[in-house]
Amino acid sequence: MNISRKSATLFLLLLIATCTGALAQSAPPPAVDPLHAWISGTNPGALEAWVNQRLADEAADVATLLAATGPRTVENTLRPFDDAQNQLYVAGSNAYLMFSLADAAPLRDKGQALAAVISSASTDLSLNQKVYTALAAIPLPANDPATRHYLERTLLEYRLSGVDKDDATRARIRALQDKITALSLTFGRNVADGTLKITATKAELDGLPADYIALHKPAADGTYTLTTEQPDVWPVLSFAKSADLHRRMYLAYNQRAYPQNVQVLRDLLTARQDLATTLGYAHYADLATADQMIGSAANVEHLLQQVDEASRDAAAREYAQLLSFAKQQQPGLTNISAPDGSYWTEQYRRAKYDFDAQSVRPYFPYDQVQAGILKTAARLFHVSFKQVKDAQVWDRSVDTFDVYDAAQGNQGKLLGRIYLDMHPRDGKDKWFSSSPVIPGIRGRQLPEGMLVCNFSGGTAGDPGLMEYSEVVTFFHEFGHLMHHILGSQGEWSGGGGFSVEGDFVESPSQMLEEMFHDTAILQSFGKDYKTGETIPASLIAKMNAASAYGRGHWLQSQLLFSSYSLQVHNRAPADVDFDALWKTDELRFSPFTPVEGDRFFASFTHLTGYASNYYTYVLDKVIALDFFAQFDKSNMLDGPTAMRYRRAVLEPGASKPAADLVKDFLGRPQNMDALKTWMNQEFQPVATDSK
């Protein structure tokens, strides 16, 4: 992405998000903290004052850059430029944090407004011809490849931003970037605020876990109220026997930002297309891929075609097996509808592999999973975590940990800080994401990052029993977090882990989630929350066998999202019929029968964050599986590959092209071999438990 596009969507891509009552309250706050807005003030006015100071500091850095005399150098030009970028980054991440995580609407409103102001300031910087001219005059460093790459990348982003256009065109670009930011924030806000409720009878809850039902108290008429919050949705779709309840929940979840986001999305696509044509591109998808690993929208189409060819037969075979099973259970059934897909998949896995997804939930209470993932990451990445119990945070439920190096020669070195905001609450962002809070600058500023999730638990009496898919999600998001911390130890704020090409950023997270299948790792923290019994190896084997079923379908579903994202951005927005296109893509990539009223696109927040580039998940799955295949499966955490992976892939951050990171670790470019093996992998459904 170019600089202004990156900044405009930073707070959605970083995708990745305090008021009285919910904020941690203590003594009056200390002097203004230049890195943490929530410490300096917990009301809209304080937040605005804090952001304004960051913007003033950014302006001062730009003035310093422009005032430099003599030949342009890294120190007198690139350094103040990076400082200015850092101020915008810190301001933007904090404003978006308040927008997406604050409990009070006025503070969320202020965060949203300030995010737009910060993005506008970033657009100004990206269109500043004097700054570009100064940067372009710096001789490329011959003996500092990281700085050379950062400078070359910065100049590329400037050119893609339209810095070389005339005054009138740059003014138009600026207006379009501001509009794109405002519309993106509005889209996300509508999703966050769009929680819907449905009612269900006691009979319709049949099949759901007992702890789920216990958390939902019946009304006087005996009905239960369920919401479209994540902890309510997925158990209903996976376990409830009632097809009618599946349908009501499925539609409510996919309609929670409809119709309010339809015009928002239309206007957003129009603004993006106008920006693309203004910059000389036929459509936005080509602009959005110009600085990515993939290179062009045509290359995206080629990738999706390759993965389609690799996965279509497997997906068709899986559906045939599923439909045959469903017909045996329900004679007369002719097809499986989209709302019923998860339920029948769960039933098939139970029958085929003797595995009930509910059977592992007692072994995965939230607190144990969090501790287990920290322990796993500590061994794999050669770090340690120390909880900071007195940290000032934006909500009392947030856990804070300092991260220390445990690698030989650097033991005890503080690397950064992480925040875990893991349970739903009113007004909070409803998705699962990881994002930077503070960039790292070697010797000056330690990186900080956060996880924003919506797992059950976090309240008295609720152990937060997690489905295995939720534990996988936790592993995934933690992979992002470690990429940020370990990859942001370099010299430049703009050279951290999240600053790699956008279509590489999911590779480390998708690699880490593959660790979930390892018996030793799961047994290290999978303990029954009542008895303390370790999860049996035989149950893990069944879970692995069951979870391997459906990988062809999973890839096809990723092609559905990727194709839709690309298609709404590679043509004139006026030609896009959201409903018709979604149904066409569903029929092409999903074996399940669509239902009328499915408005998934209206709450598909990746359309604002990743825009046309959802294909990232597909490309990065290819890379991640290639990475994972290099590990010794008998010694994944403690073998030499773990440190080699940290050194070659994570630590460099954005100091070199992502394609080089891949080749440095693999010794070659990625290929499809590991993906094909993974897709057709069959685990043994039984195993002997250790005594």
Q: Do 369 and 477 have their domain in common? A: yes
CA neighbor of 501 nearest in space, from 123, 78, 6: 6
| Residue 227: its H or E element | strand 224-227
Residue 430 lies in a domain: yes
Residue 225 has pLDDT above 60, yes or no: yes
Count how many Cα atoms sit within 13 Å of the Cα of residue 59 in the half-sphere of its side chain: 9
CA neighbor of 263 nearest in space, from 186, 192, 195: 186
Q: Do 65 and 122 have their domain in common? A: yes
Q: Do 372 and 401 have their domain in common? A: yes
Residue 530 lies in a domain: yes
Handedness of CA 346, 348, 349, 350 (dihedral sign): positive
Q: Domain holding 406: CATH number?
A: 3.40.390.10
Residue 184 lies in a domain: yes
pLDDT at 103: 82
Report in angstroms the alpha-carbon separations of 509 from 54, 245, 548. 31, 33, 19
DSSP string, 349-390: HHHHHS--GGGGGGG-BHHHHHHHHHHHHHHHHTEEEEE-TT
Q: Do 122 and 248 have their domain in common? A: no
Residue 247 has pLDDT above 70, yes or no: yes
> What percent of the chain has a predicted confidence (pLDDT) above 70?
94
Q: Which domain holds residue 138?
A: 3-190
Of residues 347 and 43, more confidently modeled: 347
Banded pLDDT at 688 (limits 50, 70, 90): low
Mean pLDDT value of segment 402-413:
95
Banded pLDDT at 27 (limits 50, 70, 90): very low
Task: Tell how far CA 487 is from the center of its chain.
Answer: 17
pLDDT averaged over every residue in the chain: 92
Q: Tokens 């998001």 — which residue? A: 477
pLDDT at 432: 87
Residue 81 has pLDDT above 70, yes or no: yes
CA neighbor of 676 nearest in space, from 552, 580, 507, 554: 552
Q: Do 439 and 522 have their domain in common? A: yes
Q: Do 186 and 204 have their domain in common? A: no
Banded pLDDT at 691 (limits 50, 70, 90): very low
Residue 664 has pLDDT above 50, yes or no: yes
**649 is written with which tokens?**
């892939």
Banded pLDDT at 6 (limits 50, 70, 90): very low
pLDDT at 687: 53
pTM, to two decimals: 0.90
Q: Tokens 């269109």 — which residue? A: 127
214 contacts 462 by C-beta, under 8 angstroms: no
Least confident of 97-106, 120-129, 556-565, 590-599: 97-106
Q: Domain holding 81: CATH number?
A: 1.20.1050.40
C-alpha to C-alpha distance for 579 and 568, rounded to whole angstroms:
11
Residue type, 544: N
Q: Into how many domains does the chain fold?
A: 3
Q: Do 458 and 507 have their domain in common? A: yes
Q: Do 90 and 29 have their domain in common? A: yes
| Residue 299: its H or E element | helix 297-329
Length reported for the chain: 691
Mean pLDDT value of segment 434-439:
95
**555 is written with which tokens?**
């890839």
Residue 603 lies in a domain: no
Which residues are CB-contacts of 365 (< 8 A; sequence separation ≥ 6)?
457, 463, 464, 465, 466, 529
Q: Do 235 and 375 have their domain in common? A: no
From 190, 210, 229, give the residue that closes a domain.
Answer: 190
C-alpha to C-alpha distance for 516 and 478, rounded to whole angstroms:
12
From 529, 547, 565, give the residue that closes a domain.
Answer: 547
Mean pLDDT value of segment 667-674:
96
Count how many Cα atoms sit within 13 Å of the Cα of residue 6 in the half-sphere of its side chain: 26
- 139 burial via Cβ count (<10 Å: 0-12, 13-18, 19+): exposed
pLDDT tens, 350-388? Answer: 999 999 989 999 999 999 999 999 999 999 999 999 999
C-alpha to C-alpha distance for 460 and 528, rounded to whole angstroms:
18
Banded pLDDT at 680 (limits 50, 70, 90): confident
From 489, 519, 547, give the residue that closes a domain.
Answer: 547
The angle formed by the CA atoms of residues 194, 576 and 5, to the nearest 5 degrees, is 70
Residue 598 lies in a domain: no
pLDDT at 427: 82
Residue 512 lies in a domain: yes
Residue type, 596: E
C-alpha to C-alpha distance for 285 and 276, rounded to whole angstroms:
8
pLDDT at 684: 54
Residue 613 lies in a domain: no
C-alpha to C-alpha distance for 220 and 199, rounded to whole angstroms:
13
Q: Do 141 and 204 have their domain in common? A: no
pLDDT tens, 634-657? Answer: 998 999 999 999 999 999 999 999
Reduced to 3 states (helix: H, G, I; strand: E, B; else coil), residue 519 is helix
Q: Do 202 and 186 have their domain in common? A: no
Reduced to 3 states (helix: H, G, I; strand: E, B; else coil), residue 290 is coil
Q: Do 218 and 167 have their domain in common? A: no
C-alpha to C-alpha distance for 586 and 592, rounded to whole angstroms:
8
402 contacts 374 by C-beta, under 8 angstroms: no
**Beta strands in 537-667, from DSSP E residues, in sequence order:** none
Residue 35 lies in a domain: yes
Residue 28 has pLDDT above 90, yes or no: no
